[in-house]
Amino acid sequence: MSVVVLISGRGSNLQAILEAGIPVAAVISNRVDAAGLAVAARFGVATGVVEHRAYATREAFDAALAAAIDRHAPRLVALAGFMRVLTPAFVARYAGRLVNIHPSLLPEFPGLDTHARALAAGTKRHGCTVHFVTEQMDHGPIIAQAPVPVLPGDTEEALAARVLEQEHRLYPQAIRWFLDGRLVIEGDRVRVMENHG
């Protein structure tokens, strides 16, 4: 039933996942200084570091990362602020069991600087998306979304804080649905089945 979580930074979504009681087998970072590693340690979760700078190519890094993940034989691999573009071979290896959370209502604002771009675009709604990872960045089948209003006078920081609050609620819920066998991928769509448990 376990999950391996990949992080690069502070680990706030990781903390939300752990606080929700999701069974996390290990947390792996591409940065030895990622604050999220200390979060994992506080919860008694095994940690590992696969430093991307130690590898000459993306393919070599992804192969080492996959080896570190596979030692834990997880049902699901969850990206939580993991700031690396993954190779097609890596994505294919975990197809249908690799998820990510993105701070926008995809397909709007894929990539970086989503809050600044949402404000610049004058959009009235922003939010976050949990999706399955595919080769095309930030374009996989959407599992769940949580919208937040963009308020008059919003700053990037204020908007980001409101979105993050929703991320912390949405990501554990989506992971739980996966572990409970409630997610069915149908082409580019995800259906959440009723829970008859």
What's the rounded Cα separation, in Å, for the pair 137 and 99? 12
Is 168 a residue of the active site? no
CB 105 within 8 A of CB 149: no
DSSP string, 69-98: HHTT--SEEEESS---PPPHHHHHHTTTSE
Catalytic residue selected from 102, 115, 126, 131: 102
Q: Encoding tokens for residue 153?
A: 């006078």
Residue 107's CB is within 10 A of a number of other CB atoms, namely 11
- The catalytic residues are 102
